[in-house]
Amino acid sequence: MKNFVFCSAWIALFLSVGFVNSSCGSPQAKVPQKDTVVVNTTEIGKDITGYNGPTPVEIKLVDGVIVGVKALENTESPGFFQRVLESGMLESVVGKTAAEAAEMPLDAVSGATFSSKAVIANLRAGLATVTDTAE
């Protein structure tokens, strides 16, 4: 009998905590969602190739500003492609609007020319899709 009462008390406490927590949210406490756009150039830039094939990138924008660019899976030679990643090219557009980044001069990386030119072309192709929709 003691076990039954003890278990019943725990169950009642557990259920009441769940009901209290579910009723605590109020409409005034909601944070407005930011406008986030993610552009993946896998399809857009499928014909843009580096030394060994396509070099897609993913561009993330929040409220019209680029917050990140990352290289996606590709078949470039890892040692050469690492030079592109280490060059800072992808990070150089972070903090810019799509239009600003599209106008930025970006140089190919010495020793990884084909790969870096393809990444630049993918970046520009992806940014064009964002600037085209904003106009």
8 A C-beta contact, residue 123 and residue 57: yes
The count of domains in the chain is 1
Least confident window among 2-11, 40-49, 52-61, 91-100: 2-11
8 A C-beta contact, residue 125 and residue 41: yes
Residue 43 lies in a domain: yes
Residue 13 lies in a domain: no
Range of the domain at 62: 36-134
pLDDT for the residue numbered 131? 79
Residue 104 lies in a domain: yes
Residue 78 lies in a domain: yes
Residue 17 has pLDDT above 60, yes or no: no
The tally of CA atoms less than 13 A away on the side-chain side of residue 27 is 0
Residue 24 lies in a domain: no
Please report, for the domain that includes residue 76, its CATH number: 3.90.1010.10
d(CA 96, CA 108): 20
Residue 117 lies in a domain: yes
Residue 28 lies in a domain: no
- Mean per-residue pLDDT over the chain, rounded: 84
Residue with tokens 């009998």: 1
Residue with tokens 């600037």: 131
pLDDT for the residue numbered 20? 45
Residue 91 lies in a domain: yes
Read off the pLDDT of residues 116-130 as tens digits, 9 standing for 90 and up. Answer: 999 999 999 999 998
Read off the pLDDT of residues 46-95 as tens digits, 9 standing for 90 and up. Answer: 999 999 999 999 999 999 999 999 999 999 999 999 999 999 999 999 99
Q: At what angle do helices 113-134 and 78-86 cross, to 10 degrees?
A: 50
